[in-house]
Structure 1
Amino acid sequence: MRPESTNGTGGGGLAVPMDWLCAEYLADELLRTGGLVETGSLEYVAGRRTLALTIYLSDGAAPEDQLDEWLDRTSYDHPWQDWVRARLAERRAREGDGEPGVVLALETWRLLEETLLLAADLGALPAPPATGLVVDESAQAWLPSWQLGLPLGHLALHLY
């Protein structure tokens, strides 16, 4: 999608499609109003990217109509990363690699996978977790940022 402006301000660069812009705006609003982490923090950025990608790839209607789907997609037991890969492949096949929304979604996914954050190693917890289990936060691991952004986005959606 190219900018419609011809007054010299549009340029020939990548235009941000409205569906991507709306997804990022909504993700930002959900996280800011949830007040779960400091805006501008790495965790906040990971949560915003994760939520924006989830919203964008859901091909949805109004947020009120899709809240349950987003909650399901971001839930702990849902294979979110597999869903993202499948939806990105569908979008690429349908719209092509050069479509600006696809380009932005692919770049966001790349950043979510390649950006590593040091966090408490929740994968080291015994399964199933015992009642009153205390997480040893000194046991840390480097995780792809989506693994932190996903539960943060899920909590923000619950607070919506």
Structure 2
Amino acid sequence: MRPGSTNGTSGGGLAVPMAWLCAEYTADEMLRTAALVAPDSLEFRAGRQTLALTIHLCDGADPLAGASPAARVDDWLAVTAYGHPWPEWVRERLTARAERERHGRMDPDLALAAGAWRLLRGTQLLATDLGGLEPWHPSRPVDTPPNEAARVWMPAWELGLPLGHLAIHLW
């Protein structure tokens, strides 16, 4: 009988995507604590998946090794900041992980991370058109507030990214 769970390091066992599950849990806790949107909303889900993907890809293959918690938070803030090429960064990281897997290093979290990225790109949400404003950087003076009645369709990650960034700040 195969074991119910392993961390993917023992031969023949069921590989459990613990790094992804930990990243998703952390993202969920951050967004719930920040209370920016209702936990049962599509916006919350977009923010959770975007933030989980960011956390998972920043932490690398071993989230317990290396950087201090404060350094991790700084990394998450930098990656989710306005102007950072987040989608390109995600694609590069996922491609690198897929390449490692092709060369024999199994990554049980890769399928969940890649699936989250597909959903974030493929899901369109109707949201307020911010018209290029930087809503999560309140230090920038804004001449006119956004017209909240003007709504546009956007990929879920475009809404999840500022939610995740704000949640990290409020955490």
TM-score, length basis structure 2? 0.78
Q: Is the 8 A contact 2:124 2:153 kept in 1?
A: yes
1:41: which partner in 2?
Answer: 41
Displacement of 1:77: 1.1
| CA-atom RMSD in angstroms | 2.3
Give the alignment of 1:19-58 within 5 angstroms.
Answer: 19-58=19-58
2:131/2:146 contact within 8 Å kept: no
Q: Which has the higher helix share?
A: 1
2:123 corresponds in structure 1 to 115
Structure-1 residue corresponding to 2:165: 154
Report what 2:89 is aligned to: 83
Report the counterpart of residue 9 of structure 1 in structure 2.
Answer: none
Whole-Å separation in 2 of the counterparts to 1:48 and 1:63: 19
- Shift of the alpha carbon at 1:111? 0.3
Once the two structures are TM-superposed, the CA of residue 15 in structure 1 deviates from its matched residue by 5.2
Helix, strand or coil at the partner of 2:127: strand
Q: CA deviation at 1:94?
A: 0.9
The one-letter code sitting in structure 2 at the alignment partner of 1:121 is: D
Aligned residues of 2:97 and 2:107 also touching (Cα < 8 A): no
Q: Using structure 1 for the length normalisation, give the TM-score.
A: 0.83
Q: Distance in 2 between matches of 1:79 and 1:4?
A: 41
Task: Assess, with a 3 A threshold, how the Cα gap between structure 1 residues 157 and 131 changes in structure 2: closer, same or farther.
Answer: same
- Secondary structure at the aligned position of 1:123 is classed as coil
* Equivalent pairs, count: 148
